[in-house]
């Protein structure tokens, strides 16, 4: 029966497995109160003949299921462009500060601020500001294959920027605290400053970051992950659902790596705040900007300690998370550059301290630091004032001597010398009281000597 196939009066005859005849299926549609033929279906050949006379409300047939449309949530382009402009201006400011510091590295005031460490701070701020650009890149700008490289760029730029920028400031404040809080018997440590120890400390901090990031990248590299949100039902179409999705940079053990990274950085920030507070009253010429460094550490630490947990909480809100992270980077970099370099620029411009240490030593003769120069200038000024007072006193003494001689001459003309008394040995009367205008020359000399 299954294999029976022949042409009958009504057409081609074929039976199925149950013995039922398999024939064409007529498809009709109710149009205007009557059924209209719109097609045939031949089940034996799986062929559909459609006359295209069907009519539907709304112009299309109804959906047999809800259509789910996947859409990605991208970062606001206005926010990204605005922050990118601020970051670009910050990089320009960092380059200007770096150029200023290198060009004036021969000036004593700049030399006493450890200019090489300040140069590392400027470079670190530039790297941190450059990290803002990959932070704002998502599927709107790059393809899926490029996403892992962007994730690594974010991590490395932020890590190295923090180590160079904050690490150099931390090294300064650590050295000031180590040297100037020693006991009295270790005061000889204060006499010399070995710069290689400072550079070695910064190198150690950078090396730890490089090692940690390298292990992270090799063992558990960052890759593109998708976060899916609840479906959204648009009001204008009941047969369509929107499935929002968001791209992230993540890894299998992301929380573990972030805990190690944030824990290490957080300890450095807290220790930096403590050292800055402990050294706020210290005064030293070997690192003359350590108070400015302490102020910069306060600002960087507060911004980082607030921003890190907030961005983790707001990770599902791309605009808010990017705004918090990027603006914290921008503001901390701006504050650091302004606090460290602008006072130096202002001092050199307003005071004209452009000469080198050798030139300044030749001009002053024996001065070796700013305190001795100030003392020498004060002593010279005091000496000139004393010489002026002595000259005035000598002129006054000369005037008084001239007046005394004039009075003695006038007195001698009024009272000529008396002849000898003829009475001989007769006793004289009581001596006359001395004239108030008469005075002994020796006494005058003693009086004004």
Proportion of the chain above pLDDT 70, given as a percent? 78
* Predicted confidence (pLDDT) per residue in 102-153, tens digit: 998 888 888 888 889 999 999 999 999 999 999 998 888 888 888 899 999 9
Report the pLDDT value the prediction gives residue 15, as an integer from 0 to 100.
Answer: 63
Contact 107, 356 (CB under 8 A): yes
Q: What is the pLDDT of residue 161?
A: 94
Q: What is the pLDDT of residue 361?
A: 44
More confident residue, 369 or 442: 369
Give the confidence band of 182 by pLDDT, cuts at 50, 70, 90: low
Span 328-350, average pLDDT: 91
Q: How confident is the model at residue 400 (pLDDT cuts 50, 70, 90)?
A: confident
- Stretch 270-296: mean pLDDT: 85
What does the pLDDT average to over 414-440? Answer: 52
Report residue 50: phi and psi, to 5°. Answer: -115, 130
Q: Token pair 């824990």 is at which residue? A: 263
pLDDT at 282 > cutoff 80: no
Burial class (CB in 10 A: 0-12, 13-18, 19+), 434: exposed
46 backbone dihedrals φ, ψ, rounded to 5° = 50, 50
Average pLDDT over residues 73-94: 94
Question: Does residue 446 have a pLDDT over 50?
Answer: no
Q: Does position 444 have pLDDT exceeding 60, yes or no?
A: no
Predicted confidence band of residue 426 (pLDDT cuts 50, 70, 90): very low
Q: How far is CA 11 from the centre of its chain?
A: 87
Residue 382 has pLDDT above 70, yes or no: yes
Determine contact, residues 164/369, Cβ cutoff 8 Å: no
Per-residue pLDDT tens digits for 163-172: 999 999 999 8
Is the pTM higher than 0.85? no
As a whole number of angstroms, the distance between CA 196 and CA 176 comes to 15
Residues 200-217 have pLDDT tens digits of 999 999 999 999 999 999
From residue 180, alpha-carbon distances to 166, 197, 258, 430 in Å are: 21, 16, 35, 81
**Which of 225-229, 239-243, 401-405, 408-412 comes out lowest in average pLDDT?**
408-412
Tell me what pLDDT residue 49 has.
82
Q: Which residue has the higher pLDDT, 314 or 409?
A: 314
Q: Using one digit for the tens of pLDDT, what is the confidence trace for 187-204?
A: 555 545 677 888 899 999
Residue 204 DSSP one-character state? H
Identify the structural domains of the chain with CATH numbers, from first to last.
5-54 (no CATH), 75-353 (1.20.1070.10)
DSSP state of 63: P
Bigger pLDDT: 142 or 95?
95
Residue 308's Cβ-side half-sphere holds a number of Cα atoms within 13 Å equal to: 15
> For the chain, what is the mean pLDDT?
80
> Is the pLDDT assigned to residue 286 strictly greater than 90?
no
- Residue 1: pLDDT band with limits 50, 70, 90: low
Convert the pLDDT of each residue in 15-32 to its tens digit.
665 656 566 777 888 888
Give percent above pLDDT 90 in the chain.
32
Residue 259 and residue 225: Cα distance in Å, rounded? 20
Please tell me the least confidently modeled range out of 134-143, 332-341, 354-363: 354-363
Q: Per-residue confidence at 415, pLDDT binned at 50, 70, 90?
A: low
- Per-residue pLDDT averaged across 287-315, rounded? 89
């Amino acid at each position: 029966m299954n294999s029976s196939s022949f042409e009958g009066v009504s057409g081609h005859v074929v039976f199925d497995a149950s013995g039922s005849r398999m024939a064409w299926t007529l498809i009709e549609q109710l149009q205007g109160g009557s059924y209209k033929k719109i097609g045939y279906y031949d089940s034996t050949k799986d062929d559909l003949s459609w006359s295209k006379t069907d009519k539907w409300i709304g112009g299309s047939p109804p959906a047999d299921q809800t259509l789910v449309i996947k859409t990605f949530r991208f970062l606001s382009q206005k926010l990204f462009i605005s922050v990118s402009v601020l970051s670009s201006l910050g990089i320009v400011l960092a380059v200007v500060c770096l150029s200023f510091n290198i060009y004036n590295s021969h000036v004593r005031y700049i030399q006493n601020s450890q200019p090489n460490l300040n140069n590392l701070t400027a470079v670190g701020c530039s790297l941190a500001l450059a990290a803002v650009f990959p932070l704002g890149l998502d599927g709107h700008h790059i393809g899926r294959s490029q996403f892992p490289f962007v994730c690594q760029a974010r991590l490395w730029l932020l890590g190295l920027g923090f180590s160079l920028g904050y690490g150099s400031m931390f090294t300064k404040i650590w050295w000031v605290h180590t040297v100037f809080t020693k006991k009295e018997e270790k005061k000889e440590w204060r006499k010399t400053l070995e710069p290689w120890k400072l550079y070695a400390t910064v190198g150690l901090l950078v090396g730890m970051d490089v090692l940690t990031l390298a292990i992270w990248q090799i063992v558990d590299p960052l890759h593109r992950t998708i976060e899916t949100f609840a479906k959204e039902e648009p009001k204008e179409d009941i047969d369509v659902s929107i499935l929002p999705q968001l791209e992230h940079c993540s890894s299998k053990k992301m929380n573990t790596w972030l805990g190690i990274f944030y824990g290490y950085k957080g300890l450095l920030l807290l220790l930096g705040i403590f050292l800055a507070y402990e050294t706020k009253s210290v005064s030293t010429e070997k690192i003359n900007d350590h108070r400015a460094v302490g102020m910069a550490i306060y600002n960087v630490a507060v911004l980082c300690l607030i921003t890190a947990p907030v961005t983790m909480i707001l990770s599902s809100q791309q605009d808010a998370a990017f705004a918090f992270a990027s603006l914290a980077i921008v503001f901390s970099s701006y504050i650091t550059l302004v606090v460290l370099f602008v006072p130096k620029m202002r001092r050199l411009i307003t005071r004209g301290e452009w000469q080198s240490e050798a030139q300044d030593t030749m001009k002053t003769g024996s001065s070796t630091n700013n305190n001795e120069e100030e003392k020498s200038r004060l002593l010279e000024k005091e000496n000139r004032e004393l010489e002026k007072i002595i000259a005035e006193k000598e002129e006054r003494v000369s005037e008084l001597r001239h007046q005394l001689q004039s009075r003695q001459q006038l007195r001698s003309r009024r009272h000529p010398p008396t002849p000898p008394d003829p009475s001989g040995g007769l006793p004289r009367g009581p001596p006359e009281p001395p004239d108030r205008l008469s005075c002994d020359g020796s006494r005058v000399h003693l009086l004004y000597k």
